[in-house]
Amino acid sequence: MLVLFVSAIFLDFFIVILLLTKRPKSLTDKLLALLIFNIGLHLLGYYLKQAGYWELYPHLTGVTAPVVLFHGPFLYLYCLYSLRPDRTLRLVDYLHFLPGIAAYLYMTKFFFFYSAEEKRLIDSGVINDFEFFSRFLLIAILVSGLSYPIASYRLTIKHRQIIKEYFSFSEGVSLRWLRYCILSIGMVFLTATIVIFMRDSLGTRFPFDPEYIFYTIIIGFIFLVGYFGIKQENLFVNNYGTNDSKAEGNRTEAKYKHSGIDEQKADQLFDRLISLMNEEQPFLEPRLTLGELAGKLDISPNNLSQVINQKANVNFYDFVNEYRVEHFINSAQKNKRYSLLALAFESGFNSKSSFNQIFRKHKGHTPSEFLSMQKTNPD
């Protein structure tokens, strides 16, 4: 088991290096690197304890104990700045780290003024100088470990809404993978809370060490976050037309009340948009964005978003992909010798999974089912 921890620790720090050398590198890449580095320190501390190094070198005792209080803030800020175009942290963001910093400040007496033997006795429970603090720190870790994943998960939902407002694709910009990771981390702390309550309050004795389960899930978290985080594109690195920090979710008519576009102008812009979509077929570009389409019409992304939302009553993602679906159907009816997947890619879709999902959403059937129905009922 310890071999797995050593491998995970090396992988952890290797992923940090990859993230920090990524080009182009955004603030979210740095935050993710700090999150993974912090988890690596946590794993390293646990490994040193389990391998007996705390006993051999008592001054290592408790050095990484408060780092768990930094997991949640880094995770939350990573999700938050996936929604914001800011390139630096705000002053208020540093407040999230105060509990962890306060814990380290409180432990300075333990780190610098206790002898190696005293630290060994405190760790074994013979001396109870830090018993109250240990319990308080444990509660703080559990509260942080439960509250931050909840807050982070809610942010990823807003991120999903922004994607559909500004992107015609989800590959590389979707945070679905992160939602699964957040849920796994939340389950770790929820399970830890239940186990600690059963052990300390109910006196339950487990036939195995539950900590191994927790840390195994954390190792899996490192693999997933590292792999997908490196591939993740930042919404604000490229010219996607999302440089509005208030941009989130579907627009309503009330939100556009002071946009400067009246009904007549909106109708004119929508007519121009429809002509562009039919004549130039920009939807065939797999990575078409709101900013790029707005550039072709020589209007702002925000105005284009308003026109699509109000006149087509859909978001940008659904608007573009509806054209792709119709183009695929026409191509499939004319080109019998090509595979459906080849025609899907030719129609602007990025992957088989997204194609099937989008097609079913718009037509209520899989592509093959729909085409079979068209043959049976051509009218």
Distance between CA atoms of residues 170 and 232, nearest Å: 11
Yes or no: say if 151 and 186 are a contact pair by the CB < 8 Å rule: no
Sort 204 into a burial class: Cβ within 10 Å, 0-12 / 13-18 / 19+: exposed
Homologous superfamily (CATH) of 316-379 is Homeodomain-like (1.10.10.60)
pTM listed for this prediction: 0.74
Distance between CA atoms of residues 352 and 40, nearest Å: 36
Delimit the domains of the chain by residue range.
Answer: 2-231, 250-313, 316-379
Q: What is the pLDDT along the chain (379 residues), one digit of tens a residue?
A: 678 788 889 988 998 998 888 887 888 889 989 999 999 999 999 889 888 898 899 999 999 999 999 999 999 999 898 877 777 899 999 999 999 999 999 999 999 999 999 998 988 888 888 889 999 999 999 999 999 999 999 998 888 888 888 888 887 777 777 888 888 888 888 888 888 888 777 878 877 777 777 788 888 878 777 777 777 766 554 444 444 434 433 444 445 444 557 788 989 999 999 999 999 999 999 999 999 999 999 999 989 999 999 999 999 999 999 999 999 999 988 887 889 999 999 999 988 988 999 999 999 999 988 888 876 666 5
Distance between CA atoms of residues 117 and 57, nearest Å: 10
Distance between CA atoms of residues 86 and 290, nearest Å: 20
